Amino acid sequence: MRLLEQRGLLPVNATPNTVAPSAAEPTSGNSLLNQVRNRASDLVVSAMDFIGVRYRRGGNNASEGFDCSGFTRHVFENSIGLVLPRRAEEQARDPSLLKINATDLRPGDLVFFNTLRATFSHVGIYVGDGKFIHAPRTGSEIRIDDMRQSYWVQRFTGARRVPQVNGSELNNNPTP
C-alpha cells in the first residue's frame, strides 16, 4: 500500500473504506485489492521497478540507462514478451497496437507526446489516475508524471493498447 501511495496510485493513508472506485468501475464486490489490480497491471508494476534509473539517449537497459522508447520496449519485452519497435514514432504506428481515446486509457497503455516538434516523439506507460511513467530527458531519471499538467496536455498526441495487456482482443472505442 505504501509503495502505491508513494507512486501516486492510491491516496495517502488509503483504507478499503476511503478508496472510492472510479465511475467506470463496478461497485459490487469491489475491494481495495481489486481496485489495485485494476489500476496497476503487472506491466505497470514492472515499469515501477525502474523509477530512478537515469535517462540516456539511445539507452536500452537499466545499467546504462534508458531513453523513452528504450524504456517502454524493455518493459513490454520483459514483462509480457512483446518486442515493440525501437523508436517512439514506430511504436505509435505499429499496426498490432490498438489506437484508443484518452478517455479510455487503462494501466499498461502506451501514451505519446510531441516533445520535439514532431508527433509521437515521446512515449510513456499509463499507470492510472491520469499519471504515466517515462524516461523524460537528459539529466533526469525515470519517473511518474501527471498527464493533466498543462505541459503534457498540450503535447498529448495519442495512445495505443496492446490487446493482451488488458485482456481484450478488440477495442470498442478506436480512434480514427
Least confident of 13-17, 82-86, 100-104, 107-111: 13-17
Give 86-108 pLDDT, tens digit per residue: 999 999 999 999 999 999 999 99
How far is Cα 128 from Cα 31, in angstroms, rounded to an integer? 17
The correct answer on CATH 3.90.1720.10 for the domain covering 34-165 is yes
Residue 110 C-alpha cell reads as 502506451
Q: Is 122 a catalytic residue?
A: yes
Catalytic residue, candidates 122, 131, 160, 161: 122
**pLDDT category of residue 20 using cuts at 50, 70 and 90:** very low
Residue 168 has pLDDT above 60, yes or no: no
Domain range list for the chain: 34-165
Give yes or no: 144 in active site.
no
Q: Can you give the pTM of this predicted structure?
A: 0.74
Annotated active-site residue 7? The verdict is: no
Burial of residue 30 (CB within 10 Å: 0-12, 13-18, 19+) is middle
